[in-house]
Amino acid sequence: MEGVINILKPPGMTSHDVVALLRRLLGEKRIGHCGTLDPEAAGVLPVCVGQATRLADYLSGGDKSYYCEMALGYETDTQDIWGATTWVCPVDTPDPLGEPEKLAEAARSLEGKVMQEAPAYSSVKREGKSLHQYAREGKPITGVMRQVDIRSIRLLDAWPASPASPAPWRDRPVRFIVDCGSGTYVRMICRDMGRKLGCGAAMSSLLRLRVGPFHLDQSVSLDEIKRMKEDGEGFEAVLHPKELALTRMTELHVEDEEALRLRHGQGVWLPGGEAVKPEEGRAWASEAGGRLVALGAYTPGSGDRAGWVFFKPDKTFL
């Protein structure tokens, strides 16, 4: 069994729980998820099966989209509503949603390639140890900054309560969709937006809509996997080709003879050097039918080989 399953992770399960359950249901030990989702979050969790697990890092590093709701009026140590409250906004604070443009401006200020603080409860490492380990030992580490790429924050609910629904602003979640690169923490977007509004905020709901080419409307629930297992069905219908994990990388086609050389660990010159994106530093070779042959690093050609790429395989898929 080999490929990628687009799992709809339910809230209340860790990503590791999902992998453990699938190992039992599929009878396959080689299973790994692509990009951790917090236990209370739900949505797209691509899971690699078989040889596809060797590509998990390439898929988890892809672009992502999230639907998020945030509660206003306080902060917590985990930046979501399930953490311990660390600060409460004074009761006499003016309605931060009274001026819609203020919220829109706060969202815009967080877009782009920006420095974002890593949450104290996160898998980001410091001196070989995850920050959440320090936090659970009572020694939280703050101020660890990393560059992230927040492409857009689209506000879905930015208006004050109407007379027909006079709920105070503290009880009204702000809703938005964020498109971002790998490594972005949406709960930190909530915290930072709350601070810019002057009222504090904590993430109250998170649904991942997309990871790379895998979308929510194409995902399959764990209950559906269980049903397929009980009915004795094969899982081919929910297995996507492993090559989808490489959609962000440059694909270079090879003929049969070149494919054979790559499988034997030999380098080949491949056309298409100008199409290679320099910032990637990676490429993959495909044979007839679009099947993956090898992953490799490339360097631009020179002289009479200008515009060609030297493909040096570091992993082959027989």
Q: Write out the catalytic residue numbers.
A: 38
Higher pLDDT, 279 or 125: 125
Question: pLDDT (tens digit, 9 = 90+) per residue, 236-247?
Answer: 889 999 999 888
- Of 72, 42, 64, which Cα lies nearest the Cα of 157? 72
Instruction: Say if CB 52 and CB 168 are below 8 A apart.
Output: no
Per-residue model confidence (pLDDT) at position 185: 97
Q: Residue 306: pLDDT above 80?
A: no
Mean pLDDT to the nearest integer, 5-34: 94
> What pLDDT, in 10s, does the model give residues 64-107?
999 999 999 999 999 999 999 999 999 888 888 888 899 999 99
- Give 314's pLDDT tier (boundaries 50, 70, 90): low
Q: Is the pLDDT higher at 23 or at 271? A: 23
DSSP 68: E
pLDDT the model gives residue 71: 94
Q: For the residues 155-162, what does the mean pLDDT come to? A: 68
Q: Return the pLDDT at 1.
A: 85
pLDDT of residue 317: 61
Q: Highest mean pLDDT: which of 218-227, 284-293, 299-308?
A: 218-227
For residue 179, give both structure tokens.
């498109």
Percent of the chain exceeding pLDDT 90 equals 60
DSSP code, position 172: S
pLDDT at 304 over 60: no
Mean pLDDT over the full length of the chain: 88
pLDDT over 70 (residue 273): no
Q: Output the CA–CA distances (angstroms, integers) from residue 14 to 1, 43, 55, 136, 223, in the order listed.
A: 24, 12, 21, 17, 16
